[in-house]
């Protein structure tokens, strides 16, 4: 029989009647007691991220490295790819690396699941490119790139694709 309050010699030794414990708030596999004294087995699974994913500048995932692209007239995938774990609005950032050459221009763009998302970005300089994109869980985000210089073999690259959200991370 569950017990929610224990009183001994006029003093309350245990009082659960004001507790707010529910199974969905206790970590999965752990046990506690609710305000009626009933055993509660936790069902909550933490993801480590806030419940709502919205655009911000706190990095939460990164494909670290560099991917160079060769001259071409069409967008081609780079090796900068992330798979999204939680649905929401993300701010993606990446470094566009420009290799100077006469009349060169590099273009990058985010693709989701092989289709263009957002707008393309042209540059003739090194810079950090930022773009906000709505994503579903499981979406594969890749930076695509193309160049506009027929005189040289390599025109640039991309590095360090980073997904950012609005989260203070408890700081």
pLDDT in tens, the chain (171 residues): 777 677 778 877 677 777 788 888 777 778 887 888 888 888 877 667 788 899 999 999 998 887 776 656 778 888 889 999 999 999 999 988 876 664 467 788 999 999 999 888 887 778 899 999 999 999 999 999 887 555 555 557 788 899 999 987 554
**CATH class for the domain made up of 58-165:** mainly beta
Q: Which tokens in the block code for residue 140?
A: 């594969």
Phi, psi of 24 (to 5 degrees): -75, -10
Residues 6+ apart with CB under 8 A from 14: 3, 5, 6
Report the C-alpha gap between 105 and 73 in whole angstroms: 11
> Where are the chain's structural domains?
5-41, 58-165
Q: Which tokens in the block code for residue 62?
A: 């990164």
Report the C-alpha gap between 150 and 130 in whole angstroms: 27
Report the C-alpha gap between 6 and 47 in whole angstroms: 37
Report the C-alpha gap between 140 and 107 in whole angstroms: 20
Length of the chain counted residue by residue: 171
């Amino acid at each position: 029989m569950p017990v929610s309050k224990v009183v001994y010699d006029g003093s309350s030794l245990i009082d659960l009647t004001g507790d707010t414990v529910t199974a969905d708030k206790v970590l999965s596999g752990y046990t506690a007691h609710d305000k009626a004294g009933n055993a509660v087995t936790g069902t909550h699974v933490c993801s480590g991220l806030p419940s709502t994913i919205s655009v911000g500048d706190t990095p939460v995932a990164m494909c670290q490295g560099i991917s160079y692209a060769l001259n071409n007239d069409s967008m081609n995938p780079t090796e900068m790819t992330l798979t999204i774990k939680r649905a929401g609005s993300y701010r993606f950032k990446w470094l566009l690396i420009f290799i100077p050459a006469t009349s060169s221009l590099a273009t990058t763009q985010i693709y989701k699941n092989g289709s263009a998302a957002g707008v393309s970005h042209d540059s003739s300089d090194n810079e950090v490119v930022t773009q906000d994109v709505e994503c579903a869980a499981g979406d594969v985000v890749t930076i695509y790139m193309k160049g506009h210089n027929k005189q040289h073999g390599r025109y640039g690259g991309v590095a360090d694709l980073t997904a950012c959200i609005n989260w203070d991370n408890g700081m």
